[in-house]
Amino acid sequence: MKIWEFIVRRLLLLIPVIIGVTIITFTISHVIPADPARAFAGGPKAQPDVIERITKELHLDEPIWIQYFYYLNDIIHLNLGKSYLESRPVTDSLAQYFPATLELTIFAMLIAIPLGIVGGIISAIRRNKLSDHITRIIAIVGYSLPIFWLALILQYILAYQIPILPLEGRLAIGMSAPPSITGLYVVDSILTGNLNTLGAALYHLILPSFTLGFATLALILRMTRSSMLEVMGMDYIRTGRAKGLSERTVIYKHALRNALIPTITVTGLAFGGLLGGAVLTETIFNWPGIGRFSADAVLGFDFNAVMGFTILVAIIYVVANLIVDVLYAVIDPRVRLGGGG
């Protein structure tokens, strides 16, 4: 099977995945007896005509399975409905918040992946040496520290006690966002040639992306180390060394490529997970991302927003898994995609 056939097949799988995910989320969110229409209309102060309008808009007066078909029909027409908490279309909210999370995740990964892999390699090839111990301690710390605690401590030290980094936000207080092209402030400010905004955006990314990246770094580091150790003990590595290959060639050409397969798996899943929004990091650093938006939507029974977020996350996971599978083939030629090999 050719790689593009594999990709198309996997993307087609998205349809049943989305249907499954929406059925489950829709049912869970709608079976609790609640009066979201009245809540959106102002609670006890709600006016009857507004409650009636929202009830009709959300089809809350219909049986749940009919509500679901209305919803599915809207999705087919690429209409995710309106977020009542934000008083605007869900697509507008997602278009604003998802790029914020994407930008944060990309920068977190830019920290986590290189440091994690390099740390893992060093740790493995210098097993039981001082550098191994240090990297392992970093990994354990990164793995076990609650992220909200790390975020609060880093914020307290680096933004308050030794104020070298900003406390919160994507840009300086009162600074306008660059004209939205991608929604990623760094990219948009480069595209529009706005160096001030670019500087502010990068400056504001340091603390939250490091916080978010640190836990992932630990994960990647541990995985790289253990798989490197396993591979380094293989016969073909010994053979390579015996036939006089340089240590560098043995490690980077022969061992690393094989050791990276499990690392890619965890990295891909972690990337997908982070794109679903890191509620705690986003909340503490006041990062207007999708995690905060989704948490508010769930607590506020904002059905359309919850559903829109769920669909987006489902797509992200499917695509992240797909990328991981494709990368397998790129890194290890023995891996063939699809069920054929």
CA distances (Å), 234 to each of 137, 230, 240, in order?
A: 26, 7, 10
CA distance 76 to 283: 33
To other proteins, the closest distance from the beta carbon of 74 in angstroms equals: 19
| Pick 16 or 174: Cβ nearer other proteins | 174
Supply 321's token pair: 């898994």
Complex with other proteins: residue 1 or 157, whichever CB lies closer: 157
Among 6, 26, 210, 285, binds other proteins (CB under 8 A): 285
The verdict on 144 binding other proteins (CB under 8 A) reads no
The CA distance from 299 to 277, in Å, is 16
137 binds other proteins (CB under 8 A): yes
Cβ proximity to other proteins, 10 vs 38, nearer residue: 38
Rule CB under 8 A: choose which of 34, 64, 66, 110 binds other proteins. 34
Give whichever of 201 and 264 is closer to other proteins, judged by the CB atom. 201
Residue type, 235: D
Rounded distance, CA 105 to CA 78, Å?
26
CB 64 within 8 Å of CB 254: no
Q: Where are the alpha helices (DSSP H) in the chain?
A: 3-12, 14-31, 36-40, 48-57, 64-76, 90-125, 130-144, 147-155, 185-191, 195-232, 235-242, 247-248, 256-275, 279-284, 290-299, 303-331
**How many angstroms separate the Cα of 107 from the Cα of each of 43, 59, 102, 212, 275?**
41, 41, 9, 9, 12
Encoded one letter per residue, x for contact with other proteins by CB under 8 A and - for no contact, window 159-178 reads xxxxx---xxxx--xx-xx-
Using CB under 8 A as the binding rule, whether residue 31 contacts other proteins is answered as no
Query: Could you tell me the smallest distance in angstroms from the CB atom of residue 84 to other proteins?
Result: 9
Question: Shortest gap between Cβ of 155 and other proteins (angstroms)?
Answer: 7
Name the residue nearer to other proteins (CB basis): 262 or 300.
Answer: 300
Part of the chain binding other proteins (CB under 8 A), chosen from 34-42, 193-201, 242-250, 255-263: 34-42
Q: How far apart are CA 224 and CA 122, in angstroms?
A: 10
Instruction: Give me the least distance between CB of 55 and other proteins, in Å please.
Output: 11
- What single DSSP character describes residue 176? P
Q: Which of 222/292 has CB closer to other proteins?
A: 292
Q: How far is the CB of 187 from other proteins (least distance, A)?
A: 17
> Which residues contribute to the site for other proteins (CB under 8 A)?
32-36, 38-39, 41-47, 49-50, 53, 85-88, 93, 96-97, 128-130, 132-134, 136-138, 141, 152, 155-157, 159-163, 167-170, 173-174, 176-177, 283-286, 288, 292-293, 299-301
